[in-house]
Amino acid sequence: MSSTEYRVDRRELQFVVNETLAAGKLCELPDFSEFDEEMFTMIINEASTFSEQVLAPLNENGDRQGCRIENGSVVTPDGFANAWKQLGEGGWLSMNLPPEYGGQGLPEVISIIGKETQMAANQGFTIGASLTSGAANLIYTFGSAEQKTNYCEKMFSGTWSGSMCLTEPQAGTAVGDAATTATKEDAGHYLIKGTKQFITNGDHDMADNIIHLLLARTPAAPEGTKGISLFIVPKIRLDGTPNDVKVVSIEHKMGINGSPTCLLSFGDNNDCQGYLLKAENIGMAQMFQLMNEARLLVGLQGLAGAGAAVQNAWAYAKERTQGPSAVHPGEKAVIIEFPDVRRMLMQMKAVTEGLRALMYTTAWYIDMANHGPEESREKYQDLLDLHIPVCKSCGTDQGFEVARIGIQVLGGVGFTQDFPLEQNARDQKIASIYEGTNGIQALDLVGRKFNTKKGQLLDVLVAELSWFDHNSAEGELAGWVAEWETYRTLMLESIACLKKTGEAEGKDGYVLYAVNMLDLMGDVLCCFYLLKQAETAQKKWKSMLDGAASQAELLAENEEAQFYWNKLRTTEFYVWSVLPRALSNAKTIKNANLAPLSACL
């Protein structure tokens, strides 16, 4: 570990993926039969090394140097183009994409390791990579055979990159207000005209071509989201001629400065060709089909930032001396000796590991929903749909909060650019906003997900959360599970409260505290998955303790024992010191105060 560099916690990833989620068992499924657990372990190591050695060293300069426009094109920070090449060649862009066009075809729960470590090492660089994977996946899912042949392999390998062109200056959250037009030409293609804003990697110098996936309206399209179509708009056409796409400017931002955020103008000279993806007016549905993966990735940005922050703060707390030591009289104290510092580190660690448990399980749900036994696919899809807004919103809000605490652990130097914490916080801040603001996630949860299929998603969740009813917890774990169960009840009571408020006060009353509902559910879910991890850790810890002379000796000598011990302590801390914040959300939901609606704002 280092207080200034990024080091992956390989042991934790190994534990989460192989020991608790039993990713190896996925290999019994036909789609993953070519893999085995040993390969997953190898991937953890290789992904970690790539992120640490190739991406992390470029992170600080990426922020300081940033991007600029030169002669009408975006120039990215030194080293980014070379790293992009390695990213593509190493297969890191296509871990979860189909082998048919050169993808690795790995389960999401393994692919996510690459994404987390890359994001943790260098958020500004990695965000564009995620969008390339997403855009390529859209073409793979909805493209014609010819479109797939033309674009997929080149994008899977990073030879070409991708961008998602949704937002316009007047159409942010309200994507349906997009005014960019697409007019069909006799030749079969469409002429695109319009302006797109906040386009990540909308232009850059890292790949040979940029394939924009763009939302636009055809002339006769219905109003709103029902009249949106999705187009492939390459920067350079397949015949090698430049398309009529211009980068107008790039944003000056709080963070992710290594990532160019572009204002793009399409069709200034009436010569921007776009190629329809599948059919007109289904653009929103197409976007939604890959929304789960996209939103999980943004949630992961928060988790990744949190993970890096924990590593840096922990390392710093072990090296920084200050004042006299109470533990070693006569010596200087290392600040990790101080209770308040330890509390902050535990808070960071518990929240981060809770988020990781949540998100890796959600990735596993994606695998089970898409590749698992047919009869259980709907169940996992339901769980997935319910978990996604929680992953996105809790991941990004709590990830930022963890970085904030990390700055606090470092003290004065945390506020300086000599340590990576302040950049970490700045880079993360966008994630609560894009890919649907966290407010939108909460509306999605309580508005759509709670009510779809007559509430079936919640029923499936309740069944899933009864796991400890059938797998009895032992020893100290029993007390933690019992305590958690009171919060599970509170969550269900809060859902009922919310519905009651909705009945009495209408839609505005129902959604007013949707964010509190989401946060409450997030804490209950994170704690549940941590408890399941603790169940595994407890067994391993017990068997090690049985063979040891004493607990103290075991902990002093054995890093494996320390890992399991700490997993138990982290879970315990989550139950007794993190979970109580659910009380605050539950009470607020119950109080259902309507002042925000009646104030003269």
Interacting residues with a second copy between 229 and 258 (CB under 8 A): 251-255
Question: CA 234 to CA 239: how far, in whole Å?
Answer: 11
The CB-of-100 to a second copy minimum distance in angstroms stands at 36
Q: Which segment (41-49, 184-192, 453-461, 589-597) binds a second copy by CB under 8 A?
A: 589-597
Restricting to residues 434-453, name those near a second copy by CB under 8 A.
Answer: 434, 437-439, 442-443
DSSP 334: E
Binding test (CB under 8 A) with a second copy, winner from 150, 265, 393, 432: 432
CB nearer to a second copy: pick between 304 and 517: 517
The residues, ordered by sequence, that sit 6+ positions from 310 with a Cβ below 8 Å of its Cβ are 345, 348, 349, 352, 402, 406
| Alpha helices by DSSP H, 429-575 | 438-443, 456-464, 467-470, 475-512, 514-546, 551-557, 559-573
Q: Which residue has the tokens 């305590």?
A: 483
Q: Which segment (54-62, 127-135, 331-339, 491-499) binds a second copy by CB under 8 A?
A: 331-339
Restricting to residues 123-142, name those near a second copy by CB under 8 A.
Answer: none
The CB-of-286 to a second copy minimum distance in angstroms stands at 21
What is the secondary structure of 36-66 as a DSSP string? -HHHHHHHHHHHHHHIIIIIGGGHHHHHHH-
Restricting to residues 46-105, name those near a second copy by CB under 8 A.
Answer: none
Contact at 8 Å (CB) between 36 and 24? Answer: yes
Restricting to residues 377-416, name those near a second copy by CB under 8 A.
Answer: 400, 404, 407-408, 411-412, 414-416
Q: Which segment (117-125, 208-216, 299-307, 563-571) binds a second copy by CB under 8 A?
A: 563-571
CB nearer to a second copy: pick between 467 and 563: 563
Q: Which segment (85-93, 146-154, 492-500, 578-586) binds a second copy by CB under 8 A?
A: 578-586
CB atoms within 10 A of CB 235: 22
Binding test (CB under 8 A) with a second copy, winner from 99, 242, 323, 479: 323
Restricting to residues 169-188, name those near a second copy by CB under 8 A.
Answer: 170-174, 176-177
CB nearer to a second copy: pick between 27 and 336: 336
DSSP 31: G
Which one, of 394, 432, 402, lies nearest residue 526 by Cα? 394
The CB-of-437 to a second copy minimum distance in angstroms stands at 6
CB nearer to a second copy: pick between 93 and 166: 166
Contact at 8 Å (CB) between 106 and 35? Answer: yes
503 contacts a second copy (rule: CB under 8 A)? no
By CB under 8 A, how many residues form the interface with a second copy? 92
The CB-of-476 to a second copy minimum distance in angstroms stands at 11
Q: Which of 435, 464, 535, 572 is catalytic?
A: 435
Question: CA 425 to CA 331: how far, in whole Å?
Answer: 34
Binding test (CB under 8 A) with a second copy, winner from 417, 466, 471, 489: 417
Q: Which residue has the tokens 């109080």?
A: 591
CB nearer to a second copy: pick between 110 and 525: 525
Restricting to residues 265-294, name those near a second copy by CB under 8 A.
Answer: none
The CB-of-565 to a second copy minimum distance in angstroms stands at 6
SS3 362: helix
588 contacts a second copy (rule: CB under 8 A)? yes
147 contacts a second copy (rule: CB under 8 A)? no
* 476 a catalytic residue: no
Q: In this structure, which amino acid lies at residue 207? A: A
Question: CA 490 to CA 282: how far, in whole Å?
Answer: 40
CB nearer to a second copy: pick between 246 and 253: 253
SS3 273: strand
CB nearer to a second copy: pick between 109 and 517: 517
Question: CA 368 to CA 480: how far, in whole Å?
Answer: 29
Q: Which segment (272-280, 282-290, 295-303, 506-514) binds a second copy by CB under 8 A?
A: 506-514
511 contacts a second copy (rule: CB under 8 A)? yes
Question: CA 3 to CA 439: how far, in whole Å?
Answer: 34
354 contacts a second copy (rule: CB under 8 A)? no
Q: In this structure, which amino acid lies at residue 558? A: N
Q: Counting every residue, how long is the chain? A: 601
CA triple 515-517-519, angle to 5 deg:
70
| Cross-strand pairs, 246 | 265
Contact at 8 Å (CB) between 250 and 261? Answer: yes
Point out the residues that are catalytic: 435
